[in-house]
Amino acid sequence: MRADAASGHRAGDADHARDAWFAQTIETVAAERCAADAWSPEAIDCLATRRGEAFEACLRELTPTQVGAIAEQVRAKFEADAGDPPETDELDPSATGGTVE
């Protein structure tokens, strides 16, 4: 721990960096997908103005297919940037109450 502190690194830095990358990527992908997938005005407004848990709740405004498209694009970007897709339940299309079409 002292070595980490001396080098300017904290134990949670890697987790924080991953979380920050994921949050930024979700926002970027959502902005791209909203037009491509014809999101409802309510979904666009909700996702454009919310963060954290409120953002996750907005995903219920989307169809399972729309959530699946976000998940696929995020996974592809993560693989391109870091090599392994993120593991997250927030982007599970079945979590919206349906299945991917």
What contacts 97, CB < 8 A, 6 or more positions away? 60, 64
Q: What is the pLDDT of residue 2?
A: 36
Bigger pLDDT: 25 or 86? Answer: 25
Buried b (16+ CB within 10 A) or exposed e, 64-99: bebbbbbbbbbbebbeeeeeeebeeebbebeebeee
**1 pLDDT more than 80:** no
Residue length, the chain?
101
User: CA-to-CA distance for 13 and 66, rounded, in angstroms?
Assistant: 32
Average confidence (pLDDT) over 90-100: 51
Where do the domains of the chain lie? 13-96
pLDDT in tens, 30-85: 889 998 999 999 999 888 888 777 877 888 889 999 999 999 998 898 888 765 54
Tell me, yes or no, if the pTM score tops 0.75. Answer: no
Residue 101 to residue 92: CA distance in whole angstroms: 13
Residue 25: exposed, middle, or buried by beta-carbon count in 10 A (0-12, 13-18, 19+)? middle
- Residue 14: what pLDDT? 72
Give the other-Cβ count within 10 Å of 4's Cβ: 11
Encoded tokens for 74: 């995020």
